[in-house]
Amino acid sequence: MIKKKYIDSVQDLFKDLGGYENINYFTHCMTRMRFHLKDWSIVNEQKIRESSYATGINKNEGGDEYQIIIGMDVADFYETFCQINGYDIDGRNVLSNNDKEKINFKTKQIEEINQIKGKFRVKGITNKCLSFVSKVFSPIVYPLIGYGLLLTIWSLMTVEWNGKGTSLAQTVHFFGEFAGILDILTSTFSLFITIAVSYTVFKAMRCSSIYGILIGVVLTAPGLVSMGNVEVGPGETILGKYPGWTIFGEGIVYPWKINFNGLMVPMIGIAIFGAYMERWTSKISNTTAKNILSPVLIIGVTFIFAIFIVAPIGMLFTNYLSISVNWLSTNYIAKYIALPLLGALYGPLVITGLHHSLTPVILQGQAAYGATIIQGLCTLSNVSQGVATVAFVVLNRRVRQLKDLGISNGVSAIVGGITEPSLFTVNLKHLYPLIACSIGVFFGSLVLVASNTYALQGASSIFGYLMFQHKAPELTGVSTWIGGGFLWGAISILVSCIVTFFMTLILGKIKFFANRTRDLLLEEYNEDINELKLIPPSEFKLILKKEREDKKSLKQQLKIEKK
């Protein structure tokens, strides 16, 4: 956060140190700014010593550090220095373009890109929200890909191919042990991504990222319980079963011990609250009081806000969703409206993390009837999310860097049922793939519900097809259409995927979405999709061929240099 009282001081210090050409990188400690400079002799040391902001200079020649003593306000001074002089705020700041010519070229390039963006940028709150989402999830794109691929491998080893006890992990000792290793890796990845989201929110809001990490760790502590781990029996509610504290007296369970692992959107909301808490505490005028009170207030108040307000809202939503879904699933008329809508909204539920609230519903339905339709809806949604991502890549295939990212994430959703990489890197960011998926799943769900196709709890990927039951459980009082559940399950998946694919292509042509996508791709990859589409196919093939040859030539050159 820029402090007005330091603006003139940081500009003067920047000039006195020699500017971009002389500053390699810098950081700070509790009281000092620590600069690594190219040439100490050109520093205007006398002017710095006489300035109002510096209380002294210390030269650490052994560590190659030029230290300027600022005092206890060094963090505010440092942040103002970064923002005013165009550096990234990331603890140890590095400016790679110290060469003046490169800086001028970079500035010109950014100006050109911004001019193009200005023509096509979607204005208003929608643009701000989507840009913020992009800033939050862009830094964790590649960990998300790794998470998705590992979970895909794990699901292939644990899916029951031909009934209970037929998975590779259960029948082959090696795969059983390897699946156990992957289970630890994937559960750790899930925890990391939840904490990382809190970190990136703080970073996007130009606040101290260490508080983001702390808040993420506190809200995913082992003493808190994940929604998916609470077993709800017939006639019971999740409110009655969830463990909590009884600080208001025996028998009064409030607040509940809700673990935020996997609850992405609630975590984003809490992190935003925490970032505003930090901004508020930064206004405390007494430096000593600020240093003592800030950590306590930021972490403590944010935790109380999460546990006493956000968590109960999520819990009440989960409870009444469970009751509603159970009624809607069994009502002869309502199920034709409600269940397809639930299928269409499953993707947004995954984004919020509230899809975990369906786990007790599925378990309860399976315990009561022997199978459930909702499991099939999850399969349709997850597979279609992957198809929407692949369709987006097809539509924008000339952005070369997008291919690897989109296809790997799409495959993770289709094969592994892991939709977070697809959702957060493509579908949510560009919106129309998410909308197309919801439309496709709605129609696929209509087929599933109308044909009374039930499924057991299990894989929610393309292998979820193996969970479909040939006929509906007798206790449901309905019959599956002629051909059986395997046939109609396959048809519902095909309907969902085909509608999703073509709706993605159609919606992608709409001006609002096309301009938004052009803007985002330009910002992320520095490639204008409209200009790329104007290149004739034959010429574009030659460009790709030349790029491959250049890469090959570079590899050979590097090999020669190593020798």
Q: Is residue 382 part of a domain?
A: yes
409-418 pLDDT, tens digit per residue, is 898 899 888 8
Mean pLDDT of 235-240: 74
Residues 347 and 467 in one domain: yes
Calculate the dihedral angle through the C-alpha atoms of 137, 187, 356, 135, rounding to the nearest 10 degrees: -10
Q: Is residue 520 part of a domain?
A: no
39: domain CATH number is 3.30.1360.60
CA angle 473, 479, 485 (to 5 degrees): 75
Q: Is residue 546 part of a domain?
A: no
115-137 pLDDT, tens digit per residue, is 544 544 445 566 667 667 767 87
Q: What is the DSSP letter of 460?
A: -
How far apart, in whole angstroms, are the C-alpha atoms of residue 347 and residue 394? 21
251-278 pLDDT, tens digit per residue, is 888 888 999 987 777 888 999 999 999 9
Strand intervals (E) in 56-210: 56-60, 65-69, 93-94
Tokens standing for residue 543: 């460009």
Tokens standing for residue 414: 């289709």
Q: Is residue 533 part of a domain?
A: no
Residues 381 and 458 in one domain: yes
Domain that holds residue 34: 4-113
Beta strands across the sheet bearing 65-69: 56-60, 65-69, 32-37, 23-28, 93-94
Above 70 in pLDDT, residue 218?
yes
Looking at residue 99, its pLDDT comes to 43
pTM to 2 decimals?
0.62
Core vs surface per residue 94-125: b (16+ CB within 10 A) or e: eeeebeeeebeeeeeeeeeeeeeeeebbbeee
Of the residues 51, 85, 113, the one at which a domain ends? 113
Q: Is residue 525 part of a domain?
A: no
Of the residues 78, 113, 148, the one at which a domain ends? 113
Above 60 in pLDDT, residue 177?
yes
Q: Which of 229, 225, 232 is nearest to 361 (CA)?
A: 232
Helix (H) or strand (E) holding 24: strand 23-28
How far apart, in whole angstroms, are the C-alpha atoms of residue 193 and residue 351? 13
Contact (CB, 8 A) for 41 and 61:
no
Residues 265 and 403 in one domain: yes
Q: Is residue 503 part of a domain?
A: yes
Instruction: Provide the domain count of the chain.
Output: 2
User: Among 116-125, 152-161, 295-304, which is the least confidently predicted range?
Assistant: 116-125
- Arithmetic mean of pLDDT over the chain: 82
Residues 138 and 9 in one domain: no
381-410 pLDDT, tens digit per residue, is 999 999 999 999 999 988 877 887 788 889
Above 60 in pLDDT, residue 563?
no
Residues 186 and 328 in one domain: yes
Residue 358 binned pLDDT confidence (cut-offs 50, 70, 90): confident
The 3-state DSSP class for residue 254 equals strand
Of the residues 113, 145, 175, the one at which a domain ends? 113
Residue type, 162: N
Place of tokens 């959107």: 265
Residues 66 and 172 in one domain: no
User: Among 200-209, 228-237, 339-348, 421-430, which is the least confidently predicted range?
Assistant: 228-237
Looking at residue 562, its pLDDT comes to 59
Residues 271 and 395 in one domain: yes
Looking at residue 116, its pLDDT comes to 43
Q: Report cis status (omega within 30 of 0) of the bond before 255.
A: yes
Residues 366 and 423 in one domain: yes
Q: Is residue 539 part of a domain?
A: no
Looking at residue 532, its pLDDT comes to 80
Looking at residue 96, its pLDDT comes to 44
Contact (CB, 8 A) for 57 and 17:
no
How many helices (H) and strands (E) the chain has is answered by 24, 5
452-465 pLDDT, tens digit per residue, is 999 887 778 898 88
Residue 320 binned pLDDT confidence (cut-offs 50, 70, 90): confident
Mean pLDDT of 494-519: 94
Mean pLDDT of 356-361: 71
Residue type, 253: V
Looking at residue 364, its pLDDT comes to 63
Mean pLDDT of 75-93: 75
Q: Is residue 413 part of a domain?
A: yes
453 or 97: whose pLDDT is higher?
A: 453
Residues 238 and 207 in one domain: yes
Q: What is the DSSP letter of 150?
A: H
Residues 330 and 460 in one domain: yes
Q: Which of 249, 231, 226, 255 is nearest to 241 (CA)?
A: 231
Residues 168 and 228 in one domain: yes
Residue 441 binned pLDDT confidence (cut-offs 50, 70, 90): very high
Residues 153 and 66 in one domain: no
How far apart, in whole angstroms, are the C-alpha atoms of residue 341 and residue 321? 13
Query: Annotated catalytic, 129?
Result: no
